[in-house]
Amino acid sequence: MSSEIIEEKTVTINLRKAYLASGKRAAPRAINIIRNIAKKIADTDEIKISNEVNMAIWSRGKGKTLRKISIKVQKLKDGTANVILASS
């Protein structure tokens, strides 16, 4: 990370809507839900989702995803936001 972290917030997201999505849409919908919530928290359109979060979402395949996930949203000085997995 080349920029300074301005603010950081930890959030647990309920992925119920993604879990109940029909067919093979669960994992892509979960990524979109995470991206939209991160946009609201960081108040920016440039969201970078880390590989750990992506692997956690896709760990059970495309059709069944996690029910909940805890993430940490870091707003950077250059106007972007990083989404990383919150340590339990």
Which residues, 6+ apart, have CB-to-CB distance to 60 below 8 Å?
A: 66
Residue 72 phi, psi (nearest 5): -125, 125
pTM assigned to the model: 0.91
Q: What is the pLDDT of residue 10?
A: 97
Residue labelled with tokens 């603010």: 7
Q: How high is the pLDDT of residue 2?
A: 62
Task: State the pLDDT at residue 3.
Answer: 80
Question: If pLDDT is split at 50, 70 and 90, which confidence band does 1 have?
Answer: very low
CATH number of 5-85: 3.10.440.10
Task: Note the helical H segments in 1-88.
Answer: 16-19, 26-42, 51-58
Which residue do the tokens 């609201």 mark? 40
Domain-wise residue ranges, the chain = 5-85
| pLDDT tens digits for range 25-77 | 999 999 999 999 999 999 999 999 999 999 999 999 999 999 999 999 999 99
Shortest CA distance to 19 belongs to which of 28, 10, 9, 8?
Answer: 28
